[in-house]
Amino acid sequence: MSTIIPMMERLPRLPLNDVLDALRSAFTKLAEGSAVQPPQTRTLLPGGGDVIAYQAALDDTYGLKISPYLPQTGRSAVVTAWTLVLSTRTGRPLLLCDAHALTVERTAATSALAVDHLARPEADTLAVIGSGPQAHAHLRYARAVRPFTAVRMYAPTLTEAKAPDGVTVAHSAEEAAADADVVLLCTSAAQPVIDTAALTPGTVVTSISTNAPRAHEIPPAALPAMEVYGDYRPTVTTAAGEMVLATERGLWSAEQLRGDLPELLTGSCPLPSGEQPVFFRSIGLGIEDLAIARLLERP
């Protein structure tokens, strides 16, 4: 029997370690060739907007998430997301759910896996740029993989009263990121939000950006001065806004990507040298959606 979860507020809060373990397993299987991750498919809509489709196959399941981006006159764009899981043994649906909450969880957990592999062992200062659901989820998962002792957060509307426990509110993105070991960019900005030239060598910056066309949270021109990693090598360099723009301008190329999560998890790419800031870009993958959605099938 299939499971239908129509409203994101009805989704259970998944244990952080279960989510992280599901992603570790999925990315390891992707490295081993026992899972499939096709490129994203973007369908442009008449009159503006688009729909991105995220697919994947893992074990005996196939997953599809669709995420429409629908611009609205005079107000914020409408963005929704739905995930369907099918059995590849029977062809029958196993799960259909509003994927808003799942997308937040898988995105934050993916960034945390990167932080765990890319940050220095002694990293203890964390900066979070943003204060929405993604920022709070990134904070939870980052704390689950590393024992950060100092955490700074910045967003234009964030106040001390609204800050999570143990978090210091910064007055600017630059103040939050100054001398931080890890900087988590968790905004919906389509343009750069920090000055990467001010980062110290070894600082890890993660970025998720938004699904607006060519959106980016760091300047494309910053890539040559950073050690760059992504969630999945075959797809990130053709979809991440700053990578596409830097490539078009002749500033950077896909061959300069040092590694991705399947390679990091299996030890088949170099770790950061500590000589330059480190950039990790996540564009979102169907295998992440599928791995986390499968957790909802459990009793």
Dihedral sign of CA atoms 105, 284, 142, 198 in order: negative
Measure the CA angle with vertex 12, ends 8 and 17; round to 5°: 120
Q: How far is CA 97 from CA 61, 207, 208, 289, in A?
A: 15, 26, 22, 11
Q: Residue 78 burial (CB < 10 Å; 0-12/13-18/19+)?
A: exposed
pLDDT in tens, the chain (299 residues): 455 554 444 455 789 999 999 999 999 999 999 999 999 898 999 989 999 999 999 999 999 999 998 999 999 889 889 999 999 999 999 998 889 889 999 999 999 999 999 999 999 999 999 999 999 999 999 999 999 999 999 999 999 888 999 999 999 999 999 999 999 999 988 889 999 999 999 999 999 977 667 889 999 999 999 999 999 999 999 989 999 999 999 999 999 999 999 999 999 999 999 999 999 999 999 999 999 999 987 65
Per-residue pLDDT of 154-207, as tens digits, reads 999 999 888 999 999 999 999 999 999 999 999 988 889 999 999 999 999 999
In this prediction, residue 6 carries a pLDDT of 47
In this prediction, residue 2 carries a pLDDT of 52
Judge whether 172 and 198 are in contact, CB under 8 Å.
no
- Alpha-helical regions (H) of the chain: 16-32, 100-118, 133-145, 173-177, 233-239, 241-248, 261-265, 286-293
In this prediction, residue 298 carries a pLDDT of 65
Judge whether 38 and 55 are in contact, CB under 8 Å.
yes
